[in-house]
A and B are shown apart, each in its own frame.
Chain A
Amino acid sequence: MMQPGFLRSLLPWLAAILLLALLPSIFPSRTAFSVMNAIGIQLVFALSYNMLLGQGGMLSFGHAVYFGLGGYGAMHAMRLIEAGSLDFPVFGLPLIGFAVGLIAGAVIGWPSCRRSGVPFAMISLGIGELVAAAGFMFVSIFGGEEGISGDRMVGVETFGLSLGPIKEVYWFIAFWAFVAALAMWAFTKTPLGRLSNAVRDNDQRAQFIGFDPQRVRYLVFIISGGFAGLAGGMSAVNYEILTPETFSALVSGAVLIMAFIGGIRTFYGPILGAALIVVMQSLLSDYTEAWQFYIGILFMVIVMFAPGGLAGLVERVRLAIQRRELAEVAPTWGLGVSAALAMTLGMIILVELVFRWREGSEPMELLGIPLSHSEILPWLLALLLLGLGSVGLRQAPKRWGRLLRGEAP
C-alpha cells in the first residue's frame, strides 16, 4: 500500500527528471554540456562520500581510491570491448565501476572499518596515499603518468546512443546520475540506512540494541565504495582517459569539500555542492587565477558559520515558509545577505588587487568598472566594502537574536 507521504517524497525525483530533460535546451552550448556532465559525475561521487560522512559519521580522506579503481575497471572493460574480447555495452560500464568499487570497499573496508573516528580517518588517508603510489608504480595496470585511454564509441549501442557527441554522453550521464542518486536515496530509507544514522549518532547505544557497529560501518563502506566506483565508471566513459592522478589526495579532498559545502546533513546537499564546485572550477578559472583561493575561503566560511552547508540554508528558508514567518525574518536575513555580499565583493577586489600588484598582470575590471591596483581608490573601496560588510554581519545576528526572543528587531 502506498502512503501519501511516500508519494510526496517521490515528487522531487519527478522534478529531477523534468530538469534533466530540459537542461540541454536551456544550456545548449558545448561548454555547458561538458560542465553538466562533470556535475553529473561529481554529484554521484559526492553522494557516495556522504553515505560515509553525513549518514554514517565516517570521515574519509581517501575516497578517490574507489572512484579511481571503479574508473580503471570500467576503462579496462572499455578497452576489452574495443578489442572485441568483451561483449558488453559501453553504456553499462558504470556497472563495472560499481562492481569494482564494491570489491575494493569490501577488501579495504575490512581492516579500516575496525576503527572509527580519528583512527578511521587516518587509515583512510594512509590507504589513499598507498593506492596513489601504487598507481604510478604499476604502469601495466594504470598506465603510468600518461594513464590509459579508450574509445567509448565501440561495442553495441544502447537506447540508440552512439555516445560520440558530447550531447549523447549527456544522456548517458543523466541516466546514471539519476539512477545512482535514486538508489542512494532509497538506501537511506532501509533499515541498514537508518542503522548507519544510529551508529553515527551513538555507536555505543547501537551495540546495546543488538547491532555490531563495526558491521554496520563495514556494509555502508562497501556500498559507498560501489557508488564511488560507479561515478568513476561514468568518468571513464565521459573523458575516455584515466591517470593515476585520479587517486590523489586532491581528488579525495575535493569530494569532501563538495559534500560539506553542499551540506552533509541532508540527502541533497552534496548535489548542490558538486554543482557549485564544478561550476566554480570550470567557469571561475577563466576569470581569475585565484579561483582555488575562493573555493578555499568558501569552504572555511561554511565550516565556521554555516555547518549545515548550502542545503542547511535552504532548509532554514523552507522552515520559515512553513511557519509563515518569512515576512518577519526577511529584513534580518536581507541585512545579513547584503552584508555578506558586500564583504565578498570587498574580499574579491582586495584579493585581485593584491594579486595584480604582486604578479603584475592586466588591471582588473569588475562589472565594467576598471579598478587599477596602482591607484588608491580601488583599495579604499575594497576596505570600505569589507568594513561595511563586517558591521552588517555583526548587526544581523543581534537582530536575529531579538527576533528569536520575540522582541522588536
Chain B
Amino acid sequence: MTAALTLANLTKSFGPAEIIRGVDLEVAAGERHAVIGPNGAGKSTLFNLISGAFPPSGGQVLLRGRRISGLPAYAINRMGLSRSFQVTNIFQNMSVYENLRCAVLWSLGYRYTFWRWASRLRDVTERSDELLQLLHLEHTRDTPAGLLSYADQRALEIGITIAGGAEVILLDEPTAGMSHAETDRAVDLIRRVTENRTLLIVEHDMGVVFGLADRISVLVYGEIVASGTPEEIRGNPKVREAYLGEEAV
C-alpha cells in the first residue's frame, strides 16, 4: 500500500544556508505522526515545503504516491493536503461563520462562482454548521474572527484546516501558547477532527506529542535522526542527546 505522505531526500537551501538536509519520511494512511526537534531544526520549513508555501531545492514530496512538490499551495490543497499555521492565520475581519463557509467552498465544488448567492448554498450551510458544532464555536458564530479569544482563534484555525475534508492534515504547533486546560481541549479537538485521517503535527509540548502520536520523528539541524513509536523514541539515547542537549556519557 502507498503511504499517505512520502518525503524523499527532501532538501531546502536559502542562499548558502541549507535548512533541510535530505529528509526521508513515510507517513502511513491513518497514522498520527509527530515531528519534534529543537528550535531552528527546520520543522516549520519542512511544513512549508510539504504544503507548497515554497518549493524544495531538491528531492520529492508524494501525496498518496502522486508528486506534489513544486505545485502551488492551492493545487496541493485541492489534492487533499491541508495545513494550519504556527501563527494564527485566519480571515480576521470576517465572522467565524464566514471563515468556515469560505473554507468549505472549494471542496463542495464552488469555484470562482459569482452567479449564485453565497448564503443560499445549502450544502455549504450544512457543512459549516457541522463544523461550528464540532469546534464548539456556536456562541461566536457571528463574531469577527480577529476578536475571538486566542484559544478560540486556534480552534478556528484547525477548523479551517480540516473544513475541506483533506485526507492529510498538517498542524503546526496547534497548542503553542495555551494554558493546560486549553491544551487538553485542543488535543481532544485534534483527536476528534483527525479521526480516520492522516496527521502530521509539529509540537513542542511533549505531553501532547506522546499522548497523541502513533509515531514520532526527531528533526535536528535539517535531518531526521530518529523515527519510531513513542516508546522507541523515549528510549533512544541519540534523541536524548540531540534533542535534550545532554552530552552522551
Q: A residues within 8 Å of B by Cβ?
A: 3, 6, 186-187, 189-195, 197-198, 200-202, 204-212, 215-216, 219, 223
Contact = CB atoms under 8 A, between A and B. Distances in A.
B83 to A, nearest CB: 6
Interface string B47-80: 0000101000000000000000000111001100
A210 B102 CA distance: 10
Interface in B60-114: 72-74, 77-78, 82-83, 85, 89-94, 98, 101-103, 105-107, 110, 112-114
Q: Size range of the interface on B?
A: 35 or more
Contacts of B102: 194-195, 198, 206, 209
Contacts of B107: 210
Nearest to A209: B103
B117 A207 contact: no
B88 to A, nearest CB: 10
Interface of B: 51, 53, 72-74, 77-78, 82-83, 85, 89-94, 98, 101-103, 105-107, 110, 112-119, 121, 160-161, 163-164
B93 A201 contact: yes
Given A189-B117, A191-B121, A192-B113, A205 B89 contact: yes
A223 to B, nearest CB: 7
Contact of A210 (B77, B101, B117): B77
Given A205-B89, A206-B102, A210-B77, 13 more contacts: A187-B114, A191-B112, A197-B98, A198-B91, A198-B94, A202-B90, A202-B91, A205-B91, A209-B82, A209-B160, A210-B78, A212-B72, A219-B114
Contacts of A205: 85, 89-91, 160
Nearest to A2: B120
A6 B164 CA distance: 27
Given A194-B98, A197-B91, A198-B102, A208 B114 contact: no
26 contacts: A3-B119, A190-B113, A190-B114, A190-B115, A191-B114, A191-B116, A191-B121, A192-B113, A192-B114, A194-B94, A195-B112, A197-B91, A197-B98, A200-B93, A201-B92, A204-B53, A204-B89, A207-B74, A209-B77, A209-B103, A209-B105, A210-B106, A211-B106, A211-B112, A212-B72, A219-B112
Nearest to A219: B112
Contacts of B89: 202, 204-205, 208
B181 to A, nearest CB: 27
Contacts of A212: 72, 74
From B77, B112, B115, B163, name the one whose CB has the most chain A CB atoms within 10 angstroms. Answer: B112
Contacts of A194: 94, 98, 101-102, 118
A191 B105 contact: yes
B79 to A, nearest CB: 10
A259 to B, nearest CB: 17
A187 B114 CA distance: 7
B93 A197 contact: yes
A3 B160 CA distance: 26
Given A190-B117, A191-B105, A202 B92 contact: yes
A3 B93 CA distance: 24
Nearest to A186: B117
A190 B111 CA distance: 11
